[in-house]
Each structure stands twice: as C-alpha cells, then as structure tokens.
Structure 1
Amino acid sequence: MTEPLFWLAPAAAAVGLGFALVFFLEMRRQDEGTPAMRRIGAHVRAGAMAYLKRQYRIMLWVFTGLALLFAVLAFGTGLQSRWLPLTFLCGGFFSALAGYCGMQTATLASGRTAAAARSSLPRGLRIAFRSGAVIGLTVVGLGLGSAVFWLLVIDWSTPPAEDGHRLVLVTTTVLTFSMGASLQALFARVGGGIYTKAADVGADLVGKVEAGIPEDDPRNPAVIADNVGDNVGDVAGMGADLFESYCGSILAASALGAAAYTTAPQDQVSAVCAPFVIAGLGLLLSVAGIFLVRTREGADQEELLRALARGTNTSAATVLLASPLVFYWMDMPNLWGIWGAVAAGLVTGVVIGRATEHATSASHAPTRSIAAAAEEGAATALISGLGTGMLSTALPVLAVVTGTLLAFLSGAGFDPGNISEGLYGVAVAAVGMLSTLGITLASDAYGPIADNAGGNAEMSGLGPEVRARTDALDSLGNTTAATGKGFAIGSAALTAMALIATYLEVVRIELLRVGQHMLELRDGLIVATGQADLADFMLYFNVTLLNPVVLVSVFLGAMVAFVFSGMTMQAVGRAAGQMVIEVRRQFAADPGILAGSSEPDYTRCVEISTAAAQREMIAPSLLAVTAPLAVSVLLGVPGVIGLLVGALSTGFVLAVFLSNSGGAWDNAKKYIEAGHHGGKGSAAHRAAVIGDTVGDPLKDTSGPSLNILVKLMSIIAITVAGLAVSWSL
C-alpha cells in the first residue's frame, strides 16, 4: 500500500490490544470478595470454559473438513481462490480467540464487580465497564489487525497488472477471511443463545414460577448454568458476531472502493485504504471515550445511561470531526461525499441505539405499558409486548433507509446514475457505524458482567444495599444489551447491502476467469466484461422484478429468515424442557435443596445445557450454509441476488422485532420487581415472568442470530460465485 495513513490502522490495532491488556490486568488486581463469592465465580468460570472447550472441539472438525473441501475446489478444480482454505481457517481462529478472551475476562470480572459494589456503585461500574472494554478492544484490535495482515500479504503476492482490476482481485480475495469469521460467529451465537436460554427458561419456570424462590437463588439447580449462559451467549456470542461484522464491513468497503475507481489508480488506492483508516481512527477515539465513563454514588438509571452515553457519543462526535482532516491528507476523491457517508453511518447507529433504548428501557412508556398490562394477566402482557416489538421496527427501518439513501447519494456525488461510487458510500457508512465499536461493544459486554455480578451477590448472601447496587448495574446492563443488539442488527443491514454489491464484482472476476471477456446485452449491445458497470451486469443476468427467478428467490430468502428463527426457537424449547425436568427431579429427590440444607447438582444442569446447545445448533447452521449454495447451483446469479435481498429485508425487520419484544418483556419484569404494580410476588410479577420467559429466546437466540444469517449467506454466495457462473442449471 502506497498510502502513508494506511499504517494508522495497524498502529491503532496495537494500541487497542495494549489498552485491553492494561484494563485486564487492572481488573485482575481487584478483590474477588468472600470465599463464597470466589467459589461461585469458580463454578461459573468452569462451566463457561467447559462449554467453550466442547464447542471449539466440534468447530475444529467442521473447519478442518471445510478447509479440505475448499483446498480440493481451489487446487483441483480452480473454482475457488487458492487463498481460501488459509483465510477461512484464520478467520475462524481469530473469531474464536476473541470469544475466548471475552469469556475469560467476563467470568473473572463478575465476582470482582460484586465485591466492588459492597463499597460503592461507581467502583462497581468502573470494573464492569473497563472489563467490557477489554472485550470490545480485543475484538476490534484482533479484527483490524487480521484484516490488515491479509490485505498486505495478498497484495504483496498478487502479480502486477496493467488494468485497475488487480486491487479488485486482491480485496475480494481478502474478503474470504470473513467467511471463517461468519461461520464461527453463527455457531457461537446460535449455540450460545440455545445454551443460555435453555438454562434461563428452565430456572425461571421451575424456580421462580413453581417453587416461588427469587432469581439467582442458590437453591435453584439451574442457577449456575444460567449465569454461565450469560457469558456464553452475550459475551462469546456477541463478540464473535461483531468481530465478523467489523471485518466484513471494512473488507466489503475496500473491495467496492477498488471497483469504483478502476480508471484512477491513485484514487483507487485511497478508496481501498480509507475503510482501514476510518476503523483505526475510531479505535483510537474509542479508547479515549472509555475514560469518560464514570458516575457518582446513588446514581439513578437515567444518570447511569448518561454516563455510558457520554463516552460513546463523544467518540462518535470526534470521529465525525476528525475524518475530513484524514480524508484531506489522503487526497480522497469526493472528500465531502465520503465524509457524508461516514456521518450517515454514525448517525444511523445512534438513532437505532436510541430507538432501541426507547422501546426496551423501563424509563420509557413502551416497557412501562407492558408492566401495566401484566396486572391483567400473562395474556395481556404477551399481547402488549408483541405489539411493542412490532411498533419498534419503524424507527430502525426508517433510520437504515434514510442512512442508506444519504450514504449512496453522498458517495455518488449526488448523481444517482453513479452506482459504483454510490454503493461504495453505503459500504463506508457501515464502516462509519462500526468505527467506534471498541466502546460500543464495551457498553454491551458490560451487561452480562453486571448480570453475573448481581447473581453472585444474591447467591453469596450479601446485604440488601449491595444487591440494590448490583440491581442498578444489572438493569442498566439490560438496556445496554438491548441497545447493542439493535446496533449489531443495524450494522448487519448496511454490511449485507455492501456484500450484495461485492458479489457482483466477484461474478465479474469469475466471468473473466472462465474466458468470458465480453457481455452481450439487449439490442445487440456488447460491453467488455472488465469495463462493464454494475447496471450492465444486472441487465446481462436479467436481475429485474419481472424475472420469475428473482421473484421466487426473494420469497425463498424471506422464508429462510423465518424458518431459521423457528428452528432456533424450537431448539430452545426442547433444551429448556430437558432443564425443567432435571430441576423438578432434583427438587423431588432431595427436599433439603429447597430447605437450604443441601446443595443442588449444578454440574448436571450445566451438562444438559452444553449438550443441548451443541446438538441443536447444527441444523440452523446447515440451513444458512446450504441455502445460498443450493440457489447458486439451481437458479444462478439472479436467484442468488433475489435470495440475499429477501433474507436481508425480512431478516432485518424480524430481528428488530424479536430482539425488542424480548428486551421490553425483560425490563418490564425488572420494573415490577423494583416495586411498581405490586412488586415481587404479585400477580403482575408472575405474569411478567412468563412474558420474560417467552421473550428470552426471541431476544437472545433467534433475533441476534438473524444478523449473522444474512451476512453469512452473502459471504457464502461470494465464495461460491464460481459455481453460479460456471455450473448453474
């Protein structure tokens, strides 16, 4: 790379990983609390590591088998890039490494957060948030560093060429790194979601509803599995999810930048480097924003939210102010247009976050209306929650629509016919939205740490003032977790749009590889394949709404989103059923458990959740892999584009609905437990617990997994584009 500012990216990755290490060591030095707190923390950590060990063993076999298949396709048939087996394995490895580091941090931090809450709320917030920052900075540092490494290696090894398509080949080849990251993320998200919700639903139904014991009561046999699940789903799963979103957005934008400026070599280099530079700048400013998050003793929910918002908003604002200066030094083409695309992405992310907060926080009317409806029973609470979730899709969809249009027009210089540069603007908007992921993910990962801290405080029998502080941190964590899910879903929508455009660039390369150097369009018009724009490819493949292949494929994509959600929800139901049976069995076999004179068999419940998660995650994952592969072979390029459009449009709206419904039910229950509408033990509370139980798989399994589904399908379609071009029926 000849752009000097490109080196800001690897430097920022090193700085981010360095601060992650500093924050981790700072957390390790904190007091772990009483012997009981240490024992409970050890139980949770052992369960989490056992789950990861089993999952990574399965993933090792899956990745090895797929890498061998890709090697045969690459070296035996020439249908794949010869880099694919290696980049695929590397993407999966670093995604798994990010999840492992996150799990270690979260399980070590929760007990220390509870111990700190014995003295003050600000200390508890500092430890939980700085530990979340370890996870955020590790994900971003590893992601950016890996993407930079593979770009440099493949750029160095690709021979020079006279036309501008060399960098297109380089950047689309590097994009295969995202396939390994996406597949690992899907297994982590689906498996983690099934694990955590099987334990949570089992613990709630038998413990709170049937036995009438409090949440996180040590007498509940599923309580340790429930605490393990918070880390498995919301730390390892979310970390892997956003790792592949982050890498995918940077690499897709880089590939579209190379394609948009093939006739201007220096502009092309700047366009390829710009996403890396934006990501590096955002990482450095995320580190600065982390130091702004602090609060006072006795802070209420609004003040705690403002403390987190101060850090995230400051980071986003400084990225917005600094990026035009960076673009000026890079001599970027259409400088203010690209800046407008970055601004559109950042603002879209903020709007989605605020919309999600409004829909799910107990400080706002939608969630409070669910709590009020719970006074009339579980049915009205469920109806109110479903309605809230459906209505909550409006603002995120409008934000993404508006942000996409503004980013496209900005990137195209407000010339709607300039499709390639407009799509580059959309891809840059996705990078802009994720540029401050270091601190955004810190706010999200804070949630499960605070949740586990509350569980530790309850099981350790700490005083009511400590539980009040951990409840405040936990309630804030519920909101930040819901906001983080909304942010992840929104970024997935923009990234997937960029990946669909990138698919056509890979199709161009595959056509040239098989020797098709000319495209015959309508009315006898012939265009050179290397010079054709994206509109020419749409004409050549007849990608229009009048083509029945495109139409039926759109329906197939929409169907895949619903079938995938149904499979993951059914999986949670089956796994939770096993947990319910086990908890009931233990209560019946040993009356001393409820009397508090004997300890439950926590290990058995952990084993049930672990085995169920590993077994049940296979079928949904196979659906995500086989759908684009089958459509590539049967329906070709038009079918693939229709499939991806259907899955993206339906999957995005469905994911927002599922996540926000579940988040609102959860916080409605918390709102009642805080003393409203009768408080704990009331009829409204029992109804809210049922609503929360129904919402659990929606917000923590099906909803979050959908954003990985749409991106993984796009990545797989890109990877097997050679099949769609050469072997399609």
Structure 2
Amino acid sequence: MKTLLYVAPLAGALALICAWWLAAWIYQNQTGTDRMQEISSYIREGAMAFLFREYRTIVIFGLAMFIILTFAIGIGTALTFLLGALFSIFAGFFGMRTATSANVRTAAAARNGMQQALKIAFRGGAVMGLCVVGLGVLGVGGLLAALGYENANLLTGFGLGASSIALFGRVGGGIYTKAADVGADLVGKVEAGIPEDDPRNPAVIADNVGDNVGDVAGMGSDLFESYVGSIISAITLAVAMPEVDPLTGSLFPLVLASVGIVASIIAIFMVGGKKVSNPAKALNAGTYVSGAIVAVSSFLLSRWFFGNLSAFLAVAVGLVVGILIGNVTEYYTSGDYKPVRGISKQCETGPATTIIDGLAVGMLSTVWPILLIVAGILASYYSAGLYGISLAAIGMLSTAGVVVAVDAYGPISDNAGGIAEMSNLPHEVRQITDRLDAVGNTTAAIGKGFAIGSAALTALALFVSYSQIAKISSIDLLSPKVVGGLLIGGMLPFLFSALTMKSVGKAAFQMIEEVRRQFRSNSKIMEGTESPDYAKCVDISTAAALKEMVFPGLLAVVSPIATGIVLGVEALGGLLAGSLVTGVLLAIMMSNAGGAWDNAKKYIEEGNHGGKGSDSHKAAVVGDTVGDPFKDTSGPSINILIKLMTIVSVVFLPLFMRL
C-alpha cells in the first residue's frame, strides 16, 4: 500500500508534462497581423510587469510569516509554508504566460472560424488547469511521501502558503482588473460613447491586462488553494480521527486526485477535437466526461481501499453537488434564462431598477446552492462520517483541471475580442470572439460556484480538523466568548468586502480622472490620429492594486491569531463558524449578482431592448460596473478568506493551546 504514495507525484508530473505540450502547441499557431502582435505585446508586458511587482510585495509577507512560524510553531511548518507559497506562485505565473500568448492566437484563428479559436482558447486555459492540479498533487503527494503520514500535520503549512498567496493574488488582481474595467466602461462607453475595446480609450490596455492578472493568475492561485486545501483537510482528518486508518485514509484522497488528473487530461483533449457549433456544449461535455470517469474510479477505489462504498458515496455527493451548483449558477447568470433577461428588461427604466433587480437575483441565487451544500454535508457525513465531508470537497474539485481550464478560457476569449477590435479586424471575427466571450462569462461564474461550494466543504472539513486537534466536542453557544467570536466571525466577510470594494472605488476614481484628462487635453485621441497614453493607466491600476491589497490580506491572517490569543480556542471556533455562514452566503450573492449584470449588458448588446448605445444599454453598463467588483474582486476573495482563516487557526493551534 505504501508504494501508492508515489502515484500522486507521478500524476502531478504527468499533468505538468501535458501542460508543457499544450503550451508548445499553442505557440505553433499564427499570431496574426503586426498590429495584433503589437497590441498583444502591450497586454503581455503589462500583465507580467504587474505580476513581478505583486510577487515582490508578497515576498515581504512571506518572509515575515516564515520567521513567525519558525519561532511559534517550528521550522518544518515554516518550510512547507514556503513551498506552498512558491507552488501557488508558479501555478499563476505559468498559466498567465500561456494565456497572454493564447489571446492573440485565438483572435487570429477566429478569422477562419470558431472551431480553431475555441480550441486555442480552451487549451490556453487548460495549461493553467493542469499546472494547478499538477503542482498541487506534486506538492502535497511529494511531501507526504517524504515525511510520512506520521508528520501529516506539516502539510497544513503547505496549505497556509497556498492560501496566503491566493488571497493576495485574488485581491490584488481583482482590484487591478476592476479599476481598469470601471474606468474604461464609465468614461469610454457611457460618457464618450465609444465601443468596448476601442483603441481610442486610454484604459483599454489596462482593462485587457486586468483580465489576465485577475481572472487567470488570481483565479489560478484561488483554485490551487481550494484544491490542495481539500486534499490536506482529508489527510489531516484521517490522521486525527481514530476510526480511520491513517495510511489508507491519507492515500485515498491522493490516489483519487491522481485519477482526476488523468480524467481531466482525457476531457481536455476531447474539447475542440471535432467541429462545434455551440461552444458551451463542448465545454460542458468535457466537464461531464471527466466527472463520469472520476465517479466510476471512486467506486472501484472505495471497494479496494475500504472494502465498502462509503467513500464512493461521499465523493459522488461532492461531484453531484458541484455540478448542480454549477447548473444553478448558470441559470442565474446566463443570458439564456429568465433572471438575466429580467434584469435586461429593467434596464429600460434606468440604472436604479437595474441595480435593484440585480441585487434581488443575487440574493435569490443563494437559496439552492446553500440547500445543496447542506444536503452534501449531511449525505457525505452519513456516508463516511466527518472524514466523508472532506471527501465530498475532494469529489467536488476532483475535476479541477477541467474546471480551471474552462474558467481561464473566458479571459483568453475576452482578450481575443479586444485584440480583434483594436486591430480593426472584420466584424465577423468580433462576432466569433464575442460568442466565445459570452460563454466564458457564464463558465467563469460556474467556476466561481465550484470554488465557493468547495470552500464551504473544505473550510468545514478543516474546522473539524481544528476541533479534533483542540479536543473540542461541541461549541457552547451560551458561552459569552463563543458568542463574541461568532459575531466577530460573521462580521469579517462584510468588513473584508467593504475594504476590497472601497479599494476598487478609489482605484477606479483615479482611472476615470486620468481617462477624462487625456480626452480633454488631446482631441486627436478621439479623432483617431494619435494614440492615448496606455502606460499611464496601466501604472495607475498597478500602483493602486499593490497598495490596497495589503490590509485585507493581513486582516485574514491577524484576525484568527488575535482571537485565539485573546479569547481562546473555543471563541476562535465561534469565529470560524460565523465567518463560514456569512462568508458563503455573501460570496454566492456577490458573484452571481455580478455575473447576472454582466450578461444582462451583453444580452442588450446583442440587439435586445434597444441594443448598443440606447438608454437601456447605458443603464446596463452602470449595473455591470457595480457588479464588476462584486464578481471579480470581493465575491471570489471571500471563499479564500474563510479557508485562510480556518487553516491559520489549524496551523497556530499548538500556540493557542500552550497559552
């Protein structure tokens, strides 16, 4: 059985080899005209410059945490923390390098039809997906093989490193992209009346750069953290719970994740392999095929490892709940269904009713995901106990390779549309990229649904690990300290969201003022005879994002440590419970409301309710602008917040228990 410890590192290596092959294939495709290559170079250089500056800022935090962990917990946890942080950085870096090369090649391929354009965009996203699962399984599996399950507690350091980078990446990238997006939309579309991605808009390059730093690098680090967090929670529970054999319980999630990698690779090579007329169906088919392979494999593995089907049932519950949450998310965020079309109808009466209806849709969209998560928790618990909850989280993320690929495909398609517009390619090309982009908006919303659902299950599994290690059998709601912790925890997602929303607002204010200044001071920009100063707008977003991401990131780390030291272990348990409840609800509401506003705008731009340039369209742009930080900054960052606070609590628990 111990020889299976090496399966996971081998599967991780296989994923990275496939990612390298896909990247090499992408680079073989044409890059289009000189103008297309020029615009693509602006986007790539801006994205990589931001990433390097962001990582330099994060290094300071990483070194500080390394020193604190060394003295407070031990050098072993501190070293695994550094490894987790590095692997998370690598996942975001490699994925974004490929994405910023795939965008121009997608636009070039769209000149000859949809099939090749879809294939390039999806494979560009697949590089990120395979880097996420490959590095995740390689890191966790390699550490377990080297350290043995007896030292599985050191894996929490790896998870802490991944979570820390994910939060800074999501918040920093989210502030960057939305500052640029809001500035480009409000001044360009609403005030100047120019189309989206018009080269006369000074913020247009920053907007396209933001798609990569927020929705590719940030999202990749986010799902890397979710993926490794779910595996680590299962391993720590297997070691902490006497009713689970530690070796078998540790190996099962790693072997299952390895099967998920193989399933994801098969599904990735299926998409784009034949002529497609509906890109959404092609992408969904890949998700379903990989899910089916994992389901069958988990049935066989459960019989082999445990002699029964309890583990299979827990994994199957996670798979089904993940897919259903994705379907619910699609219903509330796709222009094909009633909620988004209802918002677009409200746009006829102005921005106020647009925002009211969008908020209502976001709130309504929490009902079914929460009920599904509750059903998943109960079903997985009754299948395999507390260990089953962690297996359900793994089941939900077992096909993360495909989920991330589909998610990262969206910003690549969006960039391709921007390059097509700025390069004055024929209208038919932009129609193809717009269709790919519209699907990408929905798939991105589905990916966020997966991330939030898995965050709830993973945070709960880590919370169970916390209670097992702390020897807490129940949380006393009559204890004043516990109630205090519960209320503080419930408040933190709101405080965190307020900080990130205000950060976007402040950065967007600077961007709007700069775009207006350029239009006022140089009339040749609107005439199209002189190019605007793109670099200035890129610099504004970069500086604002790096400045504003620090405090929200520190809040997530400091809050549980301060609570554990001042109020004690049980009060910290209350804090984690409170943040889990409000955090999951707020994340779902914000992500889905933002996605719905975005696609309501796109539905109008297709010619409905007056089409582009109409009063309805202007109202929809305002709604989309409000929704931008909802869906791309605050909403997706909250799921990292609740997991980061939980894993910080688990890592620092020995310190709290000594006090």
- Class of the TM-score when normalised by the shorter of the 2 chains: over 0.9
C-alpha displacement of 1:84:
1.5
Q: Distance in 2 between matches of 1:297 and 1:424?
A: 43
- Residue 235, structure 1, aligned to residue 167, structure 2: no
C-alpha displacement of 1:295:
7.8
Identity over aligned pairs, percent: 52
- Residue 618, structure 1, aligned to residue 617, structure 2: no
* 1:552-604 Cα shifts (integer Å, max 9, x gaps): 21111110010000000000000000000100111111110011010000000
Q: Which structure has the bigger radius of gyration?
A: 1
Q: 1:482 aligns with which of 414, 423, 445?
A: 445
Q: Distance in 2 between matches of 1:280 and 1:477?
A: 27
With normalisation by structure 2, the TM-score equals 0.98
Task: Provide the residue aligned with 2:412 in structure 1.
Answer: 449
Q: Distance in 2 between matches of 1:318 and 1:643?
A: 38
Q: Distance in 1 between matches of 2:513 and 2:293?
A: 53
Alignment of 1:67-106 (within 5 A): 67-73=66-72, 80-106=73-99
What letter matches 1:621 in structure 2? G
Number of aligned positions between the proteins: 659
Q: Distance in 1 between matches of 2:202 and 2:275?
A: 34
C-alpha displacement of 1:4:
3.7
Q: Is the 8 A contact 2:20 2:127 kept in 1?
A: yes
Q: Distance in 1 between matches of 2:96 and 2:146?
A: 30
Q: Is the 8 A contact 1:443 1:480 kept in 2?
A: yes
Alignment of 1:452-463 (within 5 A): 452-463=415-426
Task: Provide the residue aligned with 1:392 in structure 2.
Answer: 365
Q: Distance in 1 between matches of 2:8 and 2:66?
A: 29
Q: 1:649 aligns with which of 581, 585, 605?
A: 581
Q: Distance in 2 between matches of 1:290 and 1:350?
A: 17
C-alpha displacement of 1:720:
1.3
Q: 1:715 aligns with which of 643, 647, 652?
A: 647
Q: Secondary structure at the match of 2:609?
A: coil
- Residue 273, structure 1, aligned to residue 251, structure 2: yes
C-alpha displacement of 1:634:
1.3
Higher mean alpha-carbon deviation, 7-16 vs 450-459, is at: 7-16
Task: Provide the residue aligned with 2:457 in structure 1.
Answer: 494
* 1:641-690 Cα shifts (integer Å, max 9, x gaps): 10001001100010000000000000000000001111100111010000
Q: Distance in 1 between matches of 2:334 and 2:252?
A: 36
Q: Distance in 1 between matches of 2:74 and 2:14?
A: 33
Q: 1:342 aligns with which of 309, 315, 329?
A: 315
What letter matches 1:356 in structure 2? T
Q: 1:598 aligns with which of 525, 530, 534?
A: 530
Task: Provide the residue aligned with 1:378 in structure 2.
Answer: 351
Q: 2:117 aligns with which of 86, 105, 124?
A: 124
Q: Is the 8 A contact 1:110 1:449 kept in 2?
A: yes
Q: Is the 8 A contact 1:378 1:690 kept in 2?
A: yes
Alignment of 1:53-68 (within 5 A): 53-68=52-67
Structure 2 runs not aligned, ≥5 long: none
With normalisation by structure 1, the TM-score equals 0.89
Higher helix share: 2
What letter matches 1:538 in structure 2? S
C-alpha displacement of 1:64:
1.3
- Residue 635, structure 1, aligned to residue 613, structure 2: no
Q: Is the 8 A contact 2:77 2:156 kept in 1?
A: no
Task: Provide the residue aligned with 1:465 in structure 2.
Answer: 428
Are the structure 2 counterparts of residues 461 and 297 from structure 1 closer, same or farther at C-alpha, using a change threshold of 3 Å? Answer: farther
Q: Distance in 1 between matches of 2:322 and 2:400?
A: 11
Q: Distance in 2 between matches of 1:382 and 1:174?
A: 44
Q: Distance in 2 between matches of 1:558 and 1:678?
A: 43
Q: Is the 8 A contact 2:170 2:214 kept in 1?
A: yes
Q: Distance in 2 between matches of 1:112 and 1:456?
A: 10
Q: Distance in 2 between matches of 1:355 and 1:172?
A: 36
Q: Distance in 2 between matches of 1:180 and 1:189?
A: 14
Q: Is the 8 A contact 2:485 2:575 kept in 1?
A: yes
C-alpha displacement of 1:326:
2.1
What letter matches 1:373 in structure 2? Q
- Residue 174, structure 1, aligned to residue 147, structure 2: no
C-alpha displacement of 1:298:
7.9
Q: Secondary structure at the match of 2:270?
A: coil
Task: Provide the residue aligned with 1:287 in structure 2.
Answer: 265
Alignment of 1:237-252 (within 5 A): 237-252=218-233
Q: Distance in 1 between matches of 2:16 and 2:551?
A: 35
Q: Distance in 1 between matches of 2:410 and 2:646?
A: 30
Q: Is the 8 A contact 2:6 2:142 kept in 1?
A: no
RMSD across aligned positions (CA): 1.3
- Residue 305, structure 1, aligned to residue 280, structure 2: yes
Alignment of 1:9-88 (within 5 A): 9-73=8-72, 80-88=73-81
Task: Provide the residue aligned with 1:519 in structure 2.
Answer: none
Q: Is the 8 A contact 1:81 1:173 kept in 2?
A: no
Structure 1 runs not aligned, ≥5 long: 74-79, 156-166, 412-421, 509-536
C-alpha displacement of 1:506:
3.3
C-alpha displacement of 1:261:
3.8
Are the structure 2 counterparts of residues 462 and 236 from structure 1 closer, same or farther at C-alpha, using a change threshold of 3 Å? Answer: same
* 1:397-437 Cα shifts (integer Å, max 9, x gaps): 111000110000000xxxxxxxxxx1100001101111110
* 1:43-69 Cα shifts (integer Å, max 9, x gaps): 000000110110111111221122122
Task: Provide the residue aligned with 2:392 in structure 1.
Answer: 429
Q: 1:438 aligns with which of 395, 398, 401?
A: 401
Q: Distance in 1 between matches of 2:61 and 2:13?
A: 31
Q: Secondary structure at the match of 1:462?
A: coil
Task: Provide the residue aligned with 2:290 in structure 1.
Answer: 315
- Residue 695, structure 1, aligned to residue 630, structure 2: no
Q: 2:172 aligns with which of 165, 174, 191?
A: 191
